[in-house]
Amino acid sequence: MINRFLLELKFVFLFFILCSFIFASEPNKKISFDFKGCVQTDYLFWHGNKHDEFIYGGYLRNVDFTFNGFLINKNFNYFLRFNVTDFIYDDILSEAYLSFSCSRFGFKIGQFLLPFGLEQVTPLSDRMFLETSLLNGMGEGKFLGISFDFYSNNFCLKSSFVVPEVNYSLNKELNFKYVFSFRSFLNLFRSDDFVFHFGVDYKRIKEDQKGGFPFRSVSYRDNPCFKTHSSLLNAYNGVIVTSDIVDIEFAFMWKSLFFQTELGFVDIGWRDFDKEIYSSFYFQFSYFLNGIYHKYDHYNGSFLEPILQYSSYGAFELLFKYCIIDMINYGPLLMGYCQTDGRKESILFGLNWTVTQKLKIQLNCVVDEFMYCKSPGFQVTGIGFRVQLLF
């Protein structure tokens, strides 16, 4: 009954797209319409042991379309995002929500990505590396629910309460009751070319132990830009009661120089084991060679692509990134449950060429090292090349 209601709710949002097409072009109508698209194509090559588990050659990474505008007046807005990259196995409707903003407050209802983590809230087209940080494997996803925002000139607080999206609630790997999260951040001494950003995020996941699949494994699941496997690290396999995730984020931008880092912890409450805490950390540097700098989105708390003003050959950006996720547990096997564990480290070097505001070319070199307690580890080296087109 609930799943049917959630499914029908999606068609309500789709109705607003139809209204936009019908009314946006007519004068004196109070519905606006805007359309954007993003296409990303990757070319990946690997060397090292276990290379057969990774993607080779050309790969269509993302085909993303967004529709947004306002209803009645500019305080009431709608937003829809479609990702048709993997439409056979996944729901192409990534986000669909209505929002209301007034003065310093905002409200959102529908299906959306949780506001959690500096890199996770950064739009796909503005992310600096092909491979997202290992911290993203700690619970990124789309959900149905409500969100409340408060923001001032230098501070923002975003809180959300969500339930599983209709497709996810039928998936044994994401069988939970609800998720509560908040994201808060400060941006001090902010100007066009200087930003000091600091934030704290928290997410609590209440598991559904009465569902048909109460046993859950804790797996590191990333955005598989370089990998074909959805997870290469695992921990216990048992019954989870709650999961608490804490993220601390910091970023600094001064003209062409940029630094960003995040530290995350996952506290897993098991029914049959003691609590376990897993951690992840990354930091990254970047520098524009021709004097421009990233834009800062104050409301979203993220850094966007630069605005090209003076250069006729675009913008060149040098990048470096180090990230690690630690899921090692030295405890004994209990009650016959499966326990595997590991740690992964990644070092990335990058060069981004923003040719125009619509075209970006990215080159990444990544060294991944996997370490396990009970089995041999391995290391692989990869080269990634991406072409991104916006329209």
Q: Rounded CA gap, 190 and 239, in Å? A: 46
Question: What pLDDT is attached to residue 189?
Answer: 84
Q: Which tens digit of pLDDT belongs to each residue from 271-306?
A: 666 777 778 899 999 999 988 899 999 889 999 998
Q: Rounded CA gap, 37 and 256, in Å? A: 27
CATH at 66: 2.40.160.10
Tell me the pairing of strands 343-354 and 315-326: antiparallel
Of 211 and 55, the structure prediction assigns the larger pLDDT to 55
pLDDT surpasses 50 at 73 = yes
Helix (H, G, I), strand (E, B) or coil at 16: helix
Tell me the pairing of strands 231-254 and 257-270: antiparallel
Question: What pLDDT is attached to residue 39?
Answer: 93
pLDDT surpasses 60 at 235 = no
Q: Rounded CA gap, 315 and 308, in Å? A: 7
Q: Which residues pair with 35 in a beta bridge?
A: 67
What is the residue-averaged pLDDT of the chain? 77
Question: What pLDDT is attached to residue 1?
Answer: 44
Query: Of the given ranges (30-39, 43-52, 76-85, 110-119), which has the lowest mean pLDDT?
Result: 43-52
Question: What pLDDT is attached to residue 213?
Answer: 45
How remote is the C-alpha of 240 from its chain's centroid? 23
Q: Rounded CA gap, 200 and 185, in Å? A: 6
Give the domain range for residue 100: 2-390
List of E strands, 24-141: 34-48, 57-70, 76-83, 93-102, 105-113
Of 263 and 220, the structure prediction assigns the larger pLDDT to 263
Question: What pLDDT is attached to residue 307?
Answer: 83
| Mean predicted confidence (pLDDT) in 32-45 | 87
List of E strands, the chain: 34-48, 57-70, 76-83, 93-102, 105-113, 142-151, 155-164, 176-191, 194-207, 215-221, 231-254, 257-270, 276-288, 295-297, 302-304, 315-326, 343-354, 359-371, 378-390
pLDDT surpasses 60 at 17 = no
Question: What pLDDT is attached to residue 327?
Answer: 74
Q: Rounded CA gap, 387 and 43, in Å? A: 9
Query: Of the given ranges (128-137, 249-258, 284-293, 365-374), which has the lowest mean pLDDT?
Result: 128-137
Helix (H, G, I), strand (E, B) or coil at 154: coil
Question: What pLDDT is attached to residue 369?
Answer: 84
- For 263, residues 6+ apart whose C-beta sits below 8 A from its C-beta are 247, 248, 279, 280, 281
Domain tally for the chain?
Answer: 1
